[in-house]
Amino acid sequence: AQKITQTQPGMFVQEKEAVTLDCTYDTSDQSYGLFWYKQPSSGEMIFLIYQGSYDEQNATEGRYSLNFQKARKSANLVISASQLGDSAMYFCAMREGGSNYQLIWGAGTKLIIKP
Amino acid sequence: GAVVSQHPSRVICKSGTSVKIECRSLDFQATTMFWYRQFPKQSLMLMATSNEGSKATYEQGVEKDKFLINHASLTLSTLTVTSAHPEDSSFYICSARIFDTQYFGPGTRLTVL
């Protein structure tokens, strides 16, 4: 069955350090998409980055990059030069092909950036 | 970027009343909108998928008569919680899809007294 696993319930990182948030997925589909969202304490879900299963290059968006390792079924989010404003919940999600674009969600990782 | 608004952001109501939540895509047309519920410290739980001009598809366990969804246009979907009870208190968040990506509204915190 399709599944998203985020094994880190919480992380503390020193400001300006890079941080990697883990995400592994399970699917039998060849076509799928992987997403990362940020949810600050205000509650809004902010789209960060997307990786398609056929994309050969790792996706990057500013300080965010997605370390996509297809054989290992992992899609880790890397945040470079972390900032205090990066403190939030981070969710990994997956869309399978033909799923009416519904997302399967991980449990989330609470990231706290220390000054 | 794609902007989704959601109103109201916060509502407190008495038990037995109905509450309507609006979700609008402001700068794009969304064929599909989604409604989620989120309990504290948990991930999102999909309630229903809404396609413009057709009936919403509800997830198993979601009462369609309690949570009425209308998707009247490509930019507006509404969720009405009918005869709300304290157990309906929660954070409700909508999203609108463009291509592969869902963009979310800021959410509505519903408190039923």
The token pair at A50 is 């997307």
What percentage of residues in chain B have a pLDDT greater than 90? 85
Whether the pLDDT of residue A2 is over 80: the answer is no
What value does the mean pLDDT of chain A take? 94
Work out whether strand B19-25 and strand B76-81 pair parallel, antiparallel, or are unpaired: antiparallel
pLDDT score at A51: 97
Q: Of B44, B45, B102, which Cα lies nearest the Cα of B77?
A: B102
Q: Residue B31: what pLDDT?
A: 82
Q: What is the mean pLDDT of residues B61-69?
A: 95
Indicate yes or no: CB of B44 within 8 angstroms of CB of A91.
yes
- Whether B74 and chain A come into contact, CB under 8 Å, resolves to no
In angstroms, the CA B94 to CA B78 distance is 9
Q: Are A35 and A49 in contact (CB under 8 A)?
A: yes
Nearest-Cα distance to chain A for B18, in Å, is 23
Residue A1 confidence (pLDDT) above 70 = no
The pLDDT score that the predictor gives to residue B55 is 87
Q: State the best of B10, B44, B54, B108 to mutate against chain A, taking most chain A CBs within 10 Å.
A: B44
The per-residue pLDDT for A101 is: 86
